[in-house]
């Protein structure tokens, strides 16, 4: 629902949050109705909840190439990203972090907080196509580098980053003895359920994901963490989540998360092809409009995301006009939607300010139809021609 109570006829903001899959809703209702116990309780009710929680944990971890013991449930991607970075502040100096300027705000704000506490932060540059310069990583690595964090897919442009190459460079640095203690993390929130990510096989030590991007419930995510990584507890209290995140686990949400992931991953090749076709159809149908451009269009992208715009037309004007027509899109990260500053991602790509301020993010998902895409394209045509006139 929109704040006015009106349901948009066309919802194309899946990168902010996806509508809840029926399978996830059913799994959660079943958990609420049949498993009332606390997963930490010793009685039969508690053990039923514990068994369901561990089943969900194992299924989710395996989709990234990790084991059940290597998965922590969190409240979502932001908490997972904070947990993956903020422990660096407690290490004895010198400590060095490498990340990129196109990360989600939860990574960038964490990096700023670390810098204020003495951690040195380096940023891997990004090209105009939205792809980070992976080959520059070797020149940034040094003995005190303790973490490299590079997102899997950008939340605004959908551009996929060269994670396998980055993992190779980190492994080579470890093997040479130059960076013996460096760990490798990725924010995989926008890539999980959209592309195959064998992160465990590639050698990643940690990865952040969130349920609501693929059709699971809001309020739950995960941090995959290779066994042996000494991450200190980040929520203190009980012994839940191997002593790292205290508090009663949200087993019904975990069940919904696992059910959504099962539905999506069972259909991943088919759905990826369908969404890529719909994205390309949208971009083709607006290709002849004045000043039209596509950010990141020449780079590998997740199949559901188009970052487009029209020279001379402010993105906010189009967002409002489209919303009044019942078409929901955005200008970038939902976590930055209240800010007046233009996209830090597009600025880091070196795009002109006029283009930065004109860019829309259109993101598709499991419920998107051809009719939805055509409706969006026609609405864009109407408003772009009106605003150009």
> Catalytic positions, please?
335
User: No. of H helices and E strands in the chain?
Assistant: 13, 12
Cα dist from 372 to 4, 11, 123, 294, 379, whole Å: 21, 8, 38, 19, 11
Is residue 348 within 8 A of residue 159, CB to CB? The reply is: no
Q: How many CB atoms lie within 10 A of CB 266?
A: 10
Name residue, tokens 């715009």. Answer: 309
Q: Which of 95, 160, 96 is nearest to 126 (CA)?
A: 160
φ/ψ region of 103 (left if φ > 0, alpha if ψ in -120 to 50, else beta) reads beta
Residues making up the chain, counted from first to last = 389
Residue partners of 386: CB distance under 8 A and separation at least 6: none
- Work out the widest C-alpha separation in the chain, in whole angstroms: 71
Is residue 383 within 8 A of residue 318, CB to CB? The reply is: yes
Q: Which of 134, 114, 228 is nearest to 181 (CA)?
A: 228
Name residue, tokens 């159809």. Answer: 281
Residue 370: both structure tokens together = 């051809």
Q: Which of 380, 375, 388 is nearest to 11 (CA)?
A: 375
Q: How many CB atoms lie within 10 A of CB 381?
A: 14
Cα(38)–Cα(135) distance, rounded to whole angstroms? 48
Cα(285)–Cα(339) distance, rounded to whole angstroms? 31
Q: Does a cis peptide bond (omega within 30 degrees of 0) precede residue 94?
A: yes
Indicate if the alpha-carbon torsion angle 55, 60, 61, 65 is positive or negative. Answer: positive
């Amino acid at each position: 629902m929109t704040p006015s109570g009106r349901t948009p006829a066309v919802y194309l903001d899946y990168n902010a949050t996806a509508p809840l899959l029926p399978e996830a809703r059913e799994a959660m209702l079943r958990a609420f109705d049949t498993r009332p116990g606390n997963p930490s309780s010793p009685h039969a009710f508690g053990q039923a909840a514990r068994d369901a929680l561990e089943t969900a944990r194992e299924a989710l971890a395996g989709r990234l190439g990790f084991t059940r013991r290597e998965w922590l449930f969190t409240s979502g991607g932001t908490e997972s990203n904070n947990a993956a970075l903020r422990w660096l502040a407690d290490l004895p100096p010198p400590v060095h972090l490498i990340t990129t300027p196109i990360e989600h705000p939860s990574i960038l704000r964490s990096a700023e907080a670390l810098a204020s506490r003495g951690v040195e932060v380096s940023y891997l540059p990004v090209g105009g196509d939205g792809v980070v310069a992976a080959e520059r990583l070797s020149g940034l690595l040094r003995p005190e580098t303790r973490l490299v964090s590079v997102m899997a897919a950008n939340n605004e442009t959908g551009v996929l980053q060269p994670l396998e190459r980055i993992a190779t460079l980190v492994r080579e640095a470890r093997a040479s003895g130059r960076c013996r203690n460096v760990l490798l993390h990725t924010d995989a929130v926008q890539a999980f359920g959209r592309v195959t990510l064998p992160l465990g096989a590639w050698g990643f030590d940690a990865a952040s994901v969130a349920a609501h991007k693929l059709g699971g419930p809001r309020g739950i995510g995960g941090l995959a963490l290779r066994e042996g990584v000494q991450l200190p507890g980040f929520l203190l209290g009980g012994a839940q989540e191997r002593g790292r995140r205290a508090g009663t686990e949200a087993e019904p949400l975990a069940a919904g998360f696992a059910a959504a992931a099962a539905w999506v991953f069972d259909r991943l090749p088919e759905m990826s092809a369908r969404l890529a076709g719909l994205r390309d159809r949208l971009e083709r149908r607006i290709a002849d409009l004045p000043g039209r451009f596509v950010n990141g269009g020449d780079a590998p992208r997740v199949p559901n995301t188009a970052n487009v715009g029209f020279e001379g037309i402010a993105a906010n004007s189009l967002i409002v006009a489209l919303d009044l027509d019942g078409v929901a899109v955005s200008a970038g990260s939902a976590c930055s939607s209240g800010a007046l500053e233009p996209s830090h991602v597009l600025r880091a790509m070196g795009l002109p300010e006029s283009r930065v301020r004109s860019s829309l993010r259109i993101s598709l998902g499991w419920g998107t139809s051809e009719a939805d895409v055509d409706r969006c394209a026609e609405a864009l045509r109407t408003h772009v021609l009106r605003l150009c006139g």
